[in-house]
Amino acid sequence: MPDTSLTRRAALGAATVGAATLGATQAMAQAETRKTFVLVHGAWHGGWCWRRVADILESHGHKVYAQSLTGNGDRSHLLSKDVILDTHIADIVNLVTWEDLDGICLVAHSYGGWPASGALEKIHDRVASIVWLDAFKPENGQRGTDFASEFSRKALEEAVAKGEPGRKGPPAKTFSFSAKDYAWIDSKLTLQPNGVAVQPIVLTGKRETVAKKTYIRAPKYPQAAFDKALAESKADPTWQTFVNEDTGHDVMIDQPQWLADVLLKVS
């Protein structure tokens, strides 16, 4: 009579080995396709604004970093007159360096285009793709005050006159079409450091050396600098562009699924 228990044990052992091998193969495949995103927020915001997009990207197995820049969001306690553009550039550079990140997709929203452009001067070799989301595309020597809205410029002047290190931003409805989120957004907005807007940026063209570049425009938010950046990107074959007419400036809050889909497509 055959030893059926041995046969069953052998079959179970083979199945276990097979499952382990399959699992290892799937893990290796996932690791090879896993992407790393570094998301940079805009003025008055913080890493919190990316949560919905980050959740979607992470649900697909990708790694996401969405830090708050010094003086903003959960790091608002660090706001001081010493916070300048170089501080925010260092925030991004240090994150990428200390976390040993490579082959990343760097996503910059609005003001985030300034420090992200500056950071690329040092980390461009670690960046596989960039996405400028309704963001500034500064040129060498320019400063934030060159493009500030009348509201922002007045707020900056008043804050400086009072000796305050930061200025208050506009209400949530300025950034978002999602009325149900206004109270939440308003509760999270923090003062924007004044120093980041007055320091000229130093660029040598490293941003343009990144292989994959994307510009996304939400034209319902009025900003001539973004319109100019979109036109320039459309005219440059090394950039691809997207336009979303159905969202406010805070695309990551208004349409997180749409944005996540685009990021996965272009990264």
Over the stretch 216-237, which tens digit does the pLDDT of each residue have? Answer: 999 999 999 999 999 999 999 9
CA atoms within 13 A on the CB side of 24: 6
* 150-169 tens-digit pLDDT: 877 888 889 888 999 999 99
Per the CB < 8 A criterion, the answer to whether 110 and 136 are in contact is yes
Q: Is 110 a catalytic residue?
A: yes
Single out the catalytic residue among 68, 110, 152, 233: 110
Helix extents (H) in the chain: 4-33, 51-59, 85-98, 113-123, 150-161, 182-188, 224-235, 251-254, 256-266
**Shared domain check, 216 and 116:** yes
AA letter at 239: W
**What is the tens place of the pLDDT at every residue in 101-145?**
999 999 999 999 999 999 999 999 999 999 999 999 999 999 999
User: Does 116 share its domain with 15?
Assistant: no
> What one-letter code names the amino acid at 46?
G
Residues 4 and 82 in one domain: no
Whether 87 and 216 share a structural domain: yes
The boundaries of the domain holding residue 204 are: 34-266
185 and 169 Cβ atoms separated by less than 8 Å: no
CATH of the domain at 222: 3.40.50.1820
- What is residue 148's predicted lDDT score, i.e. its pLDDT? 80
Domain identity same for 138 and 109: yes
